[in-house]
Amino acid sequence: MNITLSQAEKLISAAQEKARAIDCKMNIAVVDGGANLVAFARMDGAWLGSLDISIKKAKTARFFDMNSGEIGNLSQPGGSLYNIEHSNGGLITFPGGIPVKNADGEIIGAIGVSGSSVENDHAVAEAGASSL
Amino acid sequence: MNITLSQAEKLISAAQEKARAIDCKMNIAVVDGGANLVAFARMDGAWLGSLDISIKKAKTARFFDMNSGEIGNLSQPGGSLYNIEHSNGGLITFPGGIPVKNADGEIIGAIGVSGSSVENDHAVAEAGASSL
Amino acid sequence: MNITLSQAEKLISAAQEKARAIDCKMNIAVVDGGANLVAFARMDGAWLGSLDISIKKAKTARFFDMNSGEIGNLSQPGGSLYNIEHSNGGLITFPGGIPVKNADGEIIGAIGVSGSSVENDHAVAEAGASSL
Amino acid sequence: MNITLSQAEKLISAAQEKARAIDCKMNIAVVDGGANLVAFARMDGAWLGSLDISIKKAKTARFFDMNSGEIGNLSQPGGSLYNIEHSNGGLITFPGGIPVKNADGEIIGAIGVSGSSVENDHAVAEAGASSL
C-alpha cells in the first residue's frame, strides 16, 4: 500500500494551511512506502537549506516507522543510536518527520516539514499527516 | 526574480493535464532561479527512476539557461561538451528540461519532466513552461 | 505488492543453480518494488567489482520496469537516453537486470546478476526471474 | 581466509531463527575479510532504514576487528575516536556488528544486524556469528 499523488497533494495542502495559520514558511515533502519522493512544495521565502532537511525528515520517519524526533532522542551522545545519522545517506533526527497511515492504520508513506522551530515543523507535519 | 510556489504549482498542474491527455505517467519537477527545487509531483505508477531524472533535467535547463536536449547535442563523443554530465552532481542532457520565463522574458526557473519517450517528456515540459 | 524474502531467496537459489550449470561465479541481487535490496549472494570467487554492478542492475530494472539492457540500447552516443547512467546515483545499463513479476503479471521487484559475460549474466537473471 | 557464501548463508539462517524466536524483523548482512558484502537478507516488514545500517555495522566490525559497539564507546564526545563515524563512507558504531572467526580463531568476515533495540540486534548477530 503506497500513498497516491492525490493523497500526497492533500497532505501538502493541509500542511501549507497550518503553516500560514502560524505564520511560517515551510518546505514540505511527502514520500511513499519505499521512501521515495511523491510530492514536494517550498513556500515562498522558506529557508533554502530546509529543502533537503524536509526530504530527509520524511525519509527518516518512513525508514523507521516513527516520528523523526523519536530517533533523535536515542541518537544523542551516550544514547543507544548515537550517530545513526551517518546511515542511509544522511538522516535528520529532530522533529518534523511523521509516518502517514491509511484508514486501516497501515503506513503508506511519511511527511517531512522544515522551515521554523522544530515545534512548528512538527505541528505542520502533524496537520498534514492527520488530513487523510 | 524567482518563480513562486503558486506559479510552480500552476506549471505542474498544466503538465499533468498534458500527461493525462497523451496517456503518460510523469515525474514533474520545478526549480527556481537558484536551481533549487520548488515543487514536485510523481504521478501514480510513474517510473521510479524518473524521479531523479526529472529533477536533474530541471536543474540542467536552469544551469545553462537552455533546453536540456541542447546540452545533449554538444555532449556527444567528439562534441565540445563531451561528458559534461559528470559536473554538478550529475546532469541529464536529453530532452525534457526547459527554462521557465516570466512575461518579460526573464528566466525565473525551469521545469523537468521524465516518464516516457523524450519527445513526450519534452511535450509535457513545454505544456508546463508555457502555462504562465 | 512487494516481493517477499522467501520469494527473493527462491530467485537467488534458482539463479545460483543456473550459474553453476554454466560454470560461472555470480553476484546476485534482488530488490523490492521500492528498489531497495531484499536479498543478495556473492558466489565464492565471483568478481568483487560485480557486487555493486549486480545491485545497480536490479535497481535499474525496477527504476524503469524493463530489462537493464534495453536502457543501454537507448543510452548509447546519439541515443535518446545518452548518459542516463548519471542519474539515480549511477545506473548500469547493460544486460543482467530483469523485473520480477508475480502470477498476476504485476512487477514486485527485480533481479540483477553480474560476474560473467552479459549474455551469461542475463541468462542467470532470467533463470532467477522465471522461478517464481 | 575468507568466509564462504555457504558459511554466510548459515550465519544468516541462524540469525533469522534467533530473530523469529525473539519476535523481531531484522536486516542481516555478512561481509568477508575485505569488508565486502557476501550475503544479505531483509526479513518481511523489517525497517527499511536498517538495510544500510546492518551493512555498515558489519563493515565497521571488520574494519576494526571488534564489535561495533566497542567503537561507539570510544567515539563519544571527548572520546579518543570522537566522530570516527565520518570515515569510510559512514560507520555505525552502536551494537549489532560482530567479527566472524573460523575454528582457528582467525577473523574471516563480520555480521551486522539491525531492526530492533541494539540489545536485540546484538543478540541476533551473536546467534549468527556463533553458528559456524
Domain range annotation of chain C: 5-129
Give A64's contacts in chain D (Cβ within 8 Å).
47, 49-50
- How far apart CA A69 and CA A60 sit, in angstroms, is 10
pLDDT band of C104, cuts 50, 70, 90: very high
Taking all residues of chain B, what is their mean pLDDT, rounded to a whole number?
Answer: 97
Neighbours of chain B (3+ CB pairs under 8 A): A, C
* Statement: residue B1 has pLDDT above 90: no
Residues D128 and D113: beta-carbon distance below 8 Å = yes
Q: What is the DSSP string of chain B?
A: ----HHHHHHHHHHHHHHHHHTT---EEEEEETTS-EEEEEE-TT--TTHHHHHHHHHHHHHHHTS-HHHHHHHSSTTSTTTTGGGSTT----SS-EEEEE-TTS-EEEEEEEESS-HHHHHHHHHHHHTT-
- How far apart CA C65 and CA C59 sit, in angstroms, is 10
* Statement: residue A106 has pLDDT above 90: yes
Q: What is the pLDDT of residues B71-103, one digit of tens each?
A: 999 999 999 999 999 999 999 999 999 999 999
A125: closest CA of chain C, how far (Å) = 23
Q: What is the pLDDT of residues A71-102, one digit of tens each?
A: 999 999 999 999 999 999 999 999 999 999 99
Give B52's contacts in chain C (Cβ within 8 Å).
87-89
Question: Is the CB of residue D70 less than 8 Å away from at least one CB of chain A?
Answer: no
A45: closest CA of chain B, how far (Å) = 9
- State the pLDDT at residue D100: 98
D22: closest CA of chain A, how far (Å) = 19
- Considering CB atoms only, which of B5, B36, B51 is closest to A36? B51
CA atoms within 13 A on the CB side of A31: 22
ipTM, two decimals: 0.95
- State the pLDDT at residue D1: 81
- State the pLDDT at residue C1: 79
Q: How confident is the model over C81-99, as a mean pLDDT?
A: 97
Sequential pLDDT tens for chain D (132 residues): 899 999 999 999 999 999 999 999 999 999 999 999 999 999 999 999 999 999 999 999 999 999 999 999 999 999 999 999 999 999 999 999 999 999 999 999 999 999 999 999 999 999 999 999
pLDDT band of A18, cuts 50, 70, 90: very high
Question: Is the CB of residue D34 less than 8 Å away from at least one CB of chain A?
Answer: no
- How far apart CA C82 and CA C71 sit, in angstroms, is 10
B93: closest CA of chain A, how far (Å) = 22
Contact A36 C35 (CB under 8 A): yes
- In this complex, whether C and A touch, counting 3 or more CB pairs under 8 angstroms, is yes
- How far apart CA C95 and CA B56 sit, in angstroms, is 25
Query: What cell does D37 get?
Result: 558484502
Which CATH number applies to B5-129: 3.40.50.300, 3.20.20.70, 3.30.450.150, 3.30.300.30? 3.30.450.150
* Statement: residue A1 has pLDDT above 90: no
* Statement: residue C71 has pLDDT above 90: yes
- How far apart CA D64 and CA D72 sit, in angstroms, is 12
Q: What is the pLDDT of residues C6-55, one digit of tens each?
A: 999 999 999 999 999 999 999 999 999 999 999 999 999 999 999 999 99
pLDDT band of B67, cuts 50, 70, 90: very high
D59: closest CA of chain A, how far (Å) = 12
H runs (alpha helix) in C67-117: 68-74
Contact D36 C44 (CB under 8 A): no
Q: Looking at chain C, how many residues does it have?
A: 132
Instruction: List all residues of chain C from 39 to 68 with a beta carbon under 8 Å from chain A.
Output: none
Residues B118 and B94: beta-carbon distance below 8 Å = yes
- How far apart CA B112 and CA B128 sit, in angstroms, is 9
Percent of chain A at pLDDT exceeding 70: 100
- Considering CB atoms only, which of A35, A65, A83 is closest to D85? A83
- Considering CB atoms only, which of B5, B44, B48 is closest to A42? B5
Residues D101 and D107: beta-carbon distance below 8 Å = yes
